[in-house]
Amino acid sequence: MKISALIMKNFMPYKNEVSVRFPQDDHRNVMIIYGDNMRGKTSFLNAIRWGFYGKALGRHLREIPIHFLLNTDAASEGDFHFEVRIVFKAGGHEYILIRKATKREHVAFPSRPEDFTVSVSLQKDDSVVPGHSVEAEINRYIPEQVSRFFLFDGELLQEYETLLLEGSEQGERIKNAIEQVLGVPVLTRGRDEIETILRTAQKQQSKEIAKVKSLEVLAERQSELQDKLASIESSLQRLKSQQNEMRSQREMLDDEIEKVDEVYRNLTESKSLKARLGAIIGRLDQLGREKKELAKKAWVDLLLPKLRARQIDLYNAQQLIFDAEEQRNSYKRKIDDLTKIISREPCPTCGGMVGSESFSSIRDQISELEGKLSSHNVPDLDLQSISFELNGISDILAESVGDQIAVLQREDRRLSVELTQIDNSLRIIEDKIQGNDLEEIARKRRQRDLIVRAEGDLDGKIRDTEIDLRKKRSDLEMISRQISNEPAARQQRSTAKVQLCSELLHAFSESVERLRDSLRLKVEASATQAFKRLSTQAGYQGLSINSSYGLSIIDDNGRKVDLRSAGAEQIVALSLIDGLARTGRSAGPVVMDTPFGRLDLKHRENILSYLPDTTSQLILLVHDGEVRKDTDLTPVASRIGKEYVIREITSRQSNIEVL
C-alpha cells in the first residue's frame, strides 16, 4: 500500500488547501518534512490519521475534539469547513478518500464537537464504495487497530517499555494491539463467535430433548445452567464496562492532576521570580539615590582640565626643589672633602696624603665652591604644601564623578533588562495559573483516590465473576457431553450441532496459545535481527521476549540488561515495531513524527539506512535539532524521493513547501 497524495484544507495550522505528493519510486521511498516545533508536524500526522479513521490524537494519545481541528484563522473569517483527502494505491486499485467536517446549519459559531457534521467518501478506481463499506475497505489495508505501528511519534515509542511490566494495564492494551497486528483476533474472535453459536445450539437442544421423557432432567439442568451462564456473562459485561468507564475517568483526572502539578511548579517559579523582582526594584531605587548623590558633585568634572594642568605645574615645581637641593648638597659634600685634605687628613677619595704644595690650589677650589654655594638659590617654595595639594588633586582625578555615574548606569541598564524579562515571564506564568481553582484541584485528587479504590474493588469482583463463569461453562460442557452420550439425544439434529460446535470451540481455543507461542518466537527473532542492525553495541547478543511482547536486551554473557538509556529504549521499540511488521500483516507506509529525539548520530544513521528497506514508504517529520539537512541524511540521500519544509505564515497558520 502506498499513499500518493495528502490534501488538507483548513485542517489545524493548514489554512486553505495544502497539498503534499508522496514518493512513488520503490528505490526513492523516503519523504522528509522539516519543521520547527509548533509548526505543524504532528498536525500532518494527525491529518493522515483523521483522514483514515476520523480521529486526531493529542497528548497522552487522547482524541482531540473535532472543533479544535478547524483552522482558527479560517473560522474567524467565517469558513467553518475543513477536510482531508488521501489518494492511495492498494491491492492494485487506486483510492480517493475524502473526509469532511462542516458546521451544522443552525450553529452560528461552532465551539463543540456536536456543532459539526462529518462525512466520508471513498472512491475505488472509477466506482464509489458504499458508505457502510468504507471502513471495512480501509481496514483491509491499514486497520485502525494496528495504526500505532505505522503512524507514530516519540510518545508512542516510549509506551513499549511498559510491556516489560507484565500484567500492567497499559501493557495489556498494547499487547492487544500487538496481537491484532499479528492476526491473533482471527482465532480469538473465532473462538468467541463459535461459543455464541454453541450456546444457541445448546438452547435448541434443551428444547428438543425436553420432549424426550428420559432426558427431561438433563434438559432442565442444561437450561438452568444456560440461564445462569447468560446472567453471569451479562454481569461480567456490565462490570467490565464500569471498569472501562472508571479507567477513562481516572485517566482524565490523571491528566488534569498532571496539569495541576505544572500549576504548582509555576506557582513556585512565580514566587521565586517575584522575590527577584523585589530585589531588583530595591537595587534600582538605591542606584537612583546613589546617582543623585553623585550628580551633586558633578561640577567637579568641569574643573578636571584645570586640575590636570595644575597637577603638572606642581609636579614641575616639586622637581625644581628636588634638583636645587641636590645641587646644594653636592657643593657642601665637595667643600667638606677638600677641607679635610688641607687639615692633613687622608684624601677621602684615594686615602693617600696630599702634599702641602697643593694646599693653595685646594683653597682656591674651596673658595670657588663656597662662592657657588652662596650664590645657589633653592626656589622659595613650600614643598609640604605642594605635596599636600598634589595628593588632593590625585584623589579627585582617580575616579571622576562621570565615571562613577557610568558604572551605576551600566548596572541600572542590566537590571532593567532583567526586570523586563522577569515581568514577561511572570505574565506568561500568571496566565497559566489563572483560572485554576486550588480547592478544585484538591477535590480532584480526592476523587482520583476514590476511583482507584473503587477500581480495586471492581477488579476483585471481575476476577470472582470470571471464576464463576469458568465453572458454569465447565458444568455446562459436562451436561452437554452427558446429553450427547444419550442415544435418544443423538438422534436430534441440535445434538449434532452442539457436538460439532464444541469440537470447533475446542480447536479454536487451544490454538490461540499455540499461535501466541510461535508468534512470540518469530517476533523475538525478527526484532533481534532489526536490533542488531540498529544498535551500535556489537557486544549485545540480541533481544528476549516476554509473554506481553516486552523485549529485554541480552548482553554478551546472556544476562538481561536492566538499566537501559532513553536511546536504547527507542531502538528496542523500533526493533519491536519492525519485528511485528515482519511477522504480521503488511503495514505499508510508516509515518514517524520526531523519531530521533533521543538518539545519537550513529543510531540515527543506522535507522535511516535500515528502515527504507523494510517499509513501502518512510515519511519522517523532523526538526533541525534532530536532523541536520546537510550532513545527517547522507546515509539515506539516494533514497530520498521528496523533501518538504513546513513554513510558518502566522502563529496560527503554516504551509508546506517543496524543498
Partner 1 sequence: MNGSENEDMVWLALKRTANEVAPSIPEGLLRQMYNIQRDHEFALDSAESVKLMERCVDDFIERHA
Binding site for partner 1 (CB under 8 A): 135-136, 139, 143-145, 180, 182-187, 189-190, 192-194, 196-197, 200, 493, 496-497, 500-501, 503-504, 506-508, 510-511, 514-515, 518-519, 522, 581-588, 616
Q: Is 40 or 584 the residue whose CB approaches partner 1 more closely?
A: 584
Residue whose C-alpha is closest to residue 117's, from 127, 130, 107, 132: 107
Residue 147 Cβ vs partner 1, minimum distance, rounded to whole Å: 11
Residue 580 Cβ vs partner 1, minimum distance, rounded to whole Å: 10
Distance CA 659, CA 655 (A): 12
Residue located via cell numbers 446549519: 105
CA dihedral over 404, 408, 414, 417, signed as positive or negative: negative
Residue 27 Cβ vs partner 1, minimum distance, rounded to whole Å: 17
Residue 135 Cβ vs partner 1, minimum distance, rounded to whole Å: 8
Q: Is 196 or 421 the residue whose CB approaches partner 1 more closely?
A: 196
Q: Is 90 or 476 the residue whose CB approaches partner 1 more closely?
A: 90
Cα 94 from chain centre: 37
| C-alpha cell read off for 368 | 670657588
Q: Is 149 or 160 the residue whose CB approaches partner 1 more closely?
A: 149
Q: Is 92 or 539 the residue whose CB approaches partner 1 more closely?
A: 92
- What three-state secondary structure class fits 339? helix
| Main-chain phi, psi angles of 615, to 5 degrees | -130, 160
- What three-state secondary structure class fits 540? coil
Residue located via cell numbers 542590566: 414
Distance CA 628, CA 211 (A): 81
Residue 491 Cβ vs partner 1, minimum distance, rounded to whole Å: 11
In sequence order, which residues have a C-beta less than 8 Å from that of residue 648 and are 6 or more positions away? 36, 39, 654
Distance CA 413, CA 280 (A): 11
Residue 500 Cβ vs partner 1, minimum distance, rounded to whole Å: 6
Residue whose C-alpha is closest to residue 145's, from 89, 86, 186: 186
Q: Is 193 or 227 the residue whose CB approaches partner 1 more closely?
A: 193
Residue 531 Cβ vs partner 1, minimum distance, rounded to whole Å: 19
Residue 577 Cβ vs partner 1, minimum distance, rounded to whole Å: 12
- What three-state secondary structure class fits 596? coil
Q: Is 284 or 504 the residue whose CB approaches partner 1 more closely?
A: 504
Residue located via cell numbers 548520530: 601
* Residues facing residue 90 across a β-bridge: 93
| C-alpha cell read off for 115 | 456543532
Q: Is 443 or 493 the residue whose CB approaches partner 1 more closely?
A: 493
Query: Would you report the helix, strand and coil content of the chain in percent, each value rounded to 5?
Result: 65, 15, 20
Q: Is 144 or 412 the residue whose CB approaches partner 1 more closely?
A: 144
Residue 10 Cβ vs partner 1, minimum distance, rounded to whole Å: 29
Distance CA 264, CA 275 (A): 17
